[in-house]
Chains A and B, each alone.
Chain A
Amino acid sequence: MDIFKTNRRDFLKNTGHLIIGFNLFPFSSCSTTENEVSYNTYDGIPERAHINRDLIDSWIRLDAEGHLTVLTGKQELGQGIRTTLMQIAAEELDIEMEKCHIINGDTGQTANEGYTAGSNSVEGSGKAIREAAAEARDFLLNIIASNWNTEKSHLTVKNGVITGPNGQESSYWELLDGTYYEAKISGNAPIKSPKDHSLIGQAIPREDIKKLVKGEAHFVHDLRLPGMVHARVIHPPAYGAKLKNVDLQTVHEMPGVLKTIRDGSFLAVIATREFQAINAWQQLKESAEWELTEIKVLPKNLFEDLKQNAQAAQVIEDSPGIIQKINQSSKKHKATYLRPYHMHGSTGPSCAVAQWESGQLTVWSPTQGVYPLQATLSDLFDIEKENIRCIGMPGSGCYGHNGADDVSAEAALIAKHYPDAPVRLQWMREDEHMWEPYGSAMRIELQAGIDSQGLITTWDTHIWSDTHSTRPNGNAGHYISARHLENSFEFKKGGFSGGSYRNATPLYNISSKRLQLYNYDGPLRTSALRGLGAYGNIFALESFMDELANLADEDPIEFRKNNLDDPRAIAVLDKLAKETDYHNRIQQSNTGYGIAFAKYKNSAAYFAVLAEVEVHHEKKEFHLRRLTGVIDAGQCINPDGLINQTEGGMIQSASWTLLEEVRYDERGILSKDWNSYPILRTKQTPEVKVHVINRPEEKPLGAGEAAQGPVAAAIINALSSLLGKRVYKLPLREYFEV
C-alpha cells in the first residue's frame, strides 16, 4: 500500500481546482494483507490538498460512483463526530447514510480547523459542512432544472435521486457523470427547514463501533506500515532533570536493538519488535543517571502558594464599590473552594508513527489538531510546513491536551535518526501519567450579597490558577522533549488563556459583578483538560449557589430559577425537577440530594443535574447512587450521540470529583499508574440518566464539556446536605473511597 501515490502538487496542477464531482482518477485501491493491515485512506476519492474554505468540495465531494465524502478538519475523539457530521451532510443532500464517508484532519486533504476542542465541532465544522452540502444540492438542482426546462421548486430529492415534474429521474451521480463543476459556497443556498429533517434528530448508530467490537484496526496504535520499527522514550524521572550518564553499550548488545538516541537529555531507543524496545527502555531507565531539580511548592502548601505567589490581579469584569455593596446587603456570604491537579488519564498511552523520507516528514497522529501539529513540527525541525504531512488518526480518548502532541513530536525526533523506516512510538503508562499536562489546580474565592427577596444583588469572584492551555500552537518549546534536547527549545508560557475564568461569570441576574484572575506559575505542567477552568469555576459557583439558597431559606432549584431570566436555563431546571419527581422526593435520612446548573461557556449547551448520595454505616461510608441530567444543546443532531457524550462527561466528572488528585512530592510525580491515581471503575459508577430537550429550530450548541462542572457541584451539594456541613475541597476521597 502506498498512500502517497498521488503527488498532490501534480494533481493540483493538472486539475485546477474546485469540483464537486469527478471521476478522473480510478480508485486507488488499498490492498491489505495480514502483515500490512490498516491504514485505509477512503478509497472512493483520490487525495487532493485542501485549497480554500469557500469551495464546496473542500467539505463535500460527490464522486461518480455513488458516494458522498465529507471532509472535516476535526478529529474523531470518541465523541462520535464522524457520524454527526455525515448526518448533517446527508440531511441537506437527501442521501442515505450508507453512502456517506468521512475524512478527518489530514494536512494533505482537509481544511485547517485548528484544534478539535472547546465543544466547537458541530458549531464550527458542522456549520461549514451544512452550508457546503446545501450549496452542492442547490447547484445540482439548478443544472437539472435547466436541463429539464423546469423550476427548482418543482424538483424533489430522495436518496440522492432527483425527480422532476414529469417523472424524470436522475441521481446526483448520473447528473455529474464525471463532469467537473466549479462552485463556491455563496452562503445563499437555502438550508433545509428543521421540519423537513429526516436524518437530523435521529439516533443513527456509530458504524465505527461495529469495527471496534470486532477488533478491527481503528487506532493509530493499530497502524502497521511496511518496515515499521518500534521505539520508546526514556523520559527524565522528574521535571527539569538533566541526563548525566547512561550506559548505551549494554543496550546495543540487546536483541533487536537497532539504535539508541541521546540528544542532550532526550533519550530513546529503536528496536525491531515492540517488546525488544520495552526491554531496552527498561535497561536504559535503570542505567541512566540524572541530575534532579526539586519541586519547591509541595501539596501541603499549594493552595496557600497559589494565593501568595500569583501575579497581580487581572480585572476581567469590574463593578466599582462592590465590597461596600456586599457589606450593605441584607444577607451576605463568603467562601473559598479548592480543586487539585487532575489528569486526562487516557486509557491507552499516547502513540504516533513518524517517517522521514528524503527530507519529507509524515506523522500519523492522534493529535486534536493536525495543522497546529504541522506548524509546531516545522518550528522543531526548522523546515517548511510543505515538507510535513500530518494525518490525524483516532487515539485513545484524550479529553483535551494529553500526551498526543508530545508523542507525535518525539516519534518524529526519533525517526529523523532512522530515516526511511516508519517509527512507531507508544508511551508507557508512567510516561502518560507523569508527563501529560494536567488540568490546573485552582483556588476560587466568592463573595455575594442577597436582598430580602432572595435575589442576588452582588457577586465578587477571585480565581487563582495556572494556565489551561499550553497547546503547542507553532512553538516547539511546548513539546516536553524539545526542552530536553542539547539545543533545547525554551518553553514560553505565552500568556494565560481565558480558560481560567471560563464560566466564572454567573449566568444569574446580578446587577453588580466583579471578576478578578490571578495567574499563577505552578509546580506542575498544565494545559487543557475537558472544560478548562469551567470545571473548577462551576464547582465553586454552584456550590456557593446552594449556600446562598440556604441563606435565603429557599429550595435550591427555586432559588436558581428566581435568579434566572433565560427561559432555556429555567426549562432544564424544570425538566430536571419533573423527570426526577424532585419536589415529591421522599426525604430519607440516608440520602442527600444536590442539584447544579450551568450553560457551558455561558454560550453553549445548558445542563442541569441532580446527584443522589447515600450514606451507610453511621455516616461513615458514602455512595454516589445516581446522577440525572437534562441537556439542551439546541438542535440535536444525534440524540444517542449527545446522550453518550453527556453520560460520559457525568461519569468522568464524578471520578475527578470523588477520587482524583495528582500526587507529587519534591522529587516529582507520584501518580504513576492506576493504583497511585485511582479512577472510578464499574463497581462505584453511579447510575446515570440523561434527558434531552431538543430544539430543532435553534442552532446546535457544543455539548461535550457541559456536564463537567455541574456534576462536581451537584455531588458536593448532595454530600453537604448529608453531612450537615459544607465541603470546600476536592477530591472527596475521605468520604467515598472504598
Chain B
Amino acid sequence: MALILKINGVEKVLDINPQEPLLYVLREEFGLNGSKFGCGLQQCGTCFVLADGEAMPTCLQPCQNFQEMDIITIEGLADGDKLHPLQESFFNEQAAQCGYCLNGMLIAGLALLKKNAKPNEDEIRIALDKVICRCGTHSRFIRAVKKASETHSKF
C-alpha cells in the first residue's frame, strides 16, 4: 500500500512498511539528518519533529500515523540562506556543545513559541524538559528561546 507523507512541504508517495517509525523514513527516504535516534523509547526528544505544530517523537510512532499531518523538521525552517529566528537565536547564543540534542531542543522550543510567543522562563524550562542534553548546554537553550521570543512575536 502506498503511503503519502508531507515533510517540509514536500509530498512523497512511498512504498514502505507503514509500521516503520517516521524517524527511519525521514533519514532513509528523505535524506534528512535533523531528527536523530536517541533512545527509541520516546524518553529523550532527540527525534522530535513538528507535527501539526506539536513537538512529537518519531522513534516509535509508525509513519502511517503521520499521514495527512504537516511535518516540519529543522531542515525545513530556514528560508534559503536566511535562518529561522529560533535557529538564528541558537547560533547567536552558541547554544550547542556536541549538538546531538539540538534538534530536540529547537523543535521543543519552536512548538512552545508557536503557541505562546512570549513565554516566561518556567514555561520554557517545562517545554525543553522533554529533551535530554548530556553536555549541560541547558542554560543556553533556555536563553536562546527567551531571546528569540524577545525579538519576534510570531513563529
Contacts and interface: CB of A to CB of B under 8 A. Distances in A.
Given A79-B97, A210-B91, A651-B138, A273 B24 contact: yes
Nearest to A687: B139
Interface in B16-40: 17, 20-21, 24, 27-28, 31-34, 36-40
A206 interface: yes
A348 B46 CA distance: 8
Q: Size class of B's contact patch?
A: 35 or more
Nearest to B127: A682
B94 A209 contact: yes
Contacts, number: 178
Interface stretch (A307-315, A393-401, A412-420): A393-401
Interface centre among B124, B130, B136, B137 (most CB of A within 10 A): B136
Given A215-B73, A348-B46, A429 B138 contact: no
B75 A214 contact: yes
Interface in B58-111: 73-75, 77-78, 83, 87, 90-91, 94-103, 106
Contact of B17 (A205, A212, A275): A275
Q: Size class of A's contact patch?
A: 35 or more
A394 B129 contact: no
A79 B97 CA distance: 6
Interface stretch (A21-29, A39-47, A144-152, A640-648): A640-648
Given A35-B31, A644-B97, A655 B136 contact: yes
A680 B139 CA distance: 12
B36 A213 contact: no
A78 interface: yes
B33 A37 contact: yes
Given A275-B21, A429-B38, A209 B96 contact: yes
B41 interface: yes
Interface stretch (A258-266, A445-453, A605-613, A671-679): A671-679
A214 B39 contact: no
Contact of A78 (B38, B78, B96): B96
B98 A213 contact: no
A81 to B, nearest CB: 11
B74 A214 contact: yes
Contacts of B103: 215
A226 interface: no
A84 to B, nearest CB: 13
Determine the main DSSP class of B at the interface with A.
Answer: loop
A213 B97 contact: no
A644 B27 CA distance: 30
B139 A679 contact: no
A215 B75 contact: yes
Contacts of B46: 347-348
Contacts of A217: 33
Interface string B114-148: 00000000001110111111111111111000000
Contacts of B83: 210, 213-214
Nearest to B63: A275
Nearest to B130: A681
Given A216-B33, A644-B97, A652 B136 contact: yes
Nearest to A256: B17
Contacts of B33: 37, 215-219, 221-222
B77 to A, nearest CB: 8
A205 B73 contact: no
B98 A397 contact: yes
Contacts of B106: 213
Contacts of B41: 429, 673-674
**Which 8 pairs show the lowest CB-CB distances between chains A and B?**
A78-B98, A215-B34, A651-B136, A397-B98, A648-B136, A78-B97, A396-B100, A212-B99
Interface of A: 34-35, 37, 77-80, 205-206, 208-210, 212-219, 221-222, 224, 255, 273-275, 278, 344-349, 394-397, 399, 426, 428-429, 640, 644-645, 647-652, 654-655, 673-675, 679-683, 685, 687-688
16 contacts: A37-B33, A215-B73, A273-B28, A274-B28, A344-B134, A347-B44, A347-B98, A397-B97, A429-B39, A647-B139, A674-B39, A675-B43, A681-B130, A682-B128, A682-B129, A682-B133
Given A347-B46, A647-B140, A685-B142, 15 more contacts: A34-B31, A80-B97, A208-B99, A209-B94, A209-B95, A214-B78, A218-B33, A224-B31, A348-B38, A647-B136, A673-B41, A674-B39, A679-B134, A682-B131, A682-B142
